[in-house]
Amino acid sequence: MGLISYSIKSVITNSLFWFSLLLYLLSLVNISITSFQSGEEFRGYELLFVGFIQTYFGLVTFNILSALPWLGNIAMFLTFIFIYSKQSKKLCLISALFGMACTLSFLFNPYAMLGQDMRLIIVKENSGAYLWVISSVLLLLSALFVQEMPNKKINKDT
């Protein structure tokens, strides 16, 4: 029974992991936000490239909510690495929880620094943003399944 349970959890974990990665990649090419002021649409990869500016200003001005979305991408990237390498299960769970909290913070506070003057304005979420959030939720579920898996065995020939 233990081997069957392990196999099922392994298939679920791998499926969630790869589906989460697929949704994340789709979120990068889809339109993620639309500016209410100019009506301009931004794709996920554009926001990923310029998001560090918003994060920097958010941290410097102690506006943490504006810094969280881009930090969520870093947490998700670390979670992908931890799950793929099957190492650091606790760090995997912590980064997955932080990543999901960061992505959800964007839905509750949809602001972005846009335009030439880089003002923080309210934006409308589009399909890319929702794919990104769903990806982080699936990644958290995958990280939870990893917690129940046995540790990776390391063969030491000495």
In sequence order, what DSSP letters do the residues of 84-123 get, joined into one string? HHT--HHHHHHHHHHHHHHHHHHHHS-EEEETTTTEEEEE
- pLDDT of res. 103: 94
**Quick check: pTM over 0.95?**
no
> How far is 115 from 26, CA to CA, in rounded Å?
24
Model pLDDT for residues 86-113, shown as the tens digit of each residue: 778 889 999 999 999 999 999 998 988 8
Query: In 10 A of CB 53, how many CB atoms?
Result: 12
Model pLDDT for residues 39-57, shown as the tens digit of each residue: 889 999 998 888 888 888 8
Q: Are 99 and 79 in contact (CB under 8 A)?
A: yes
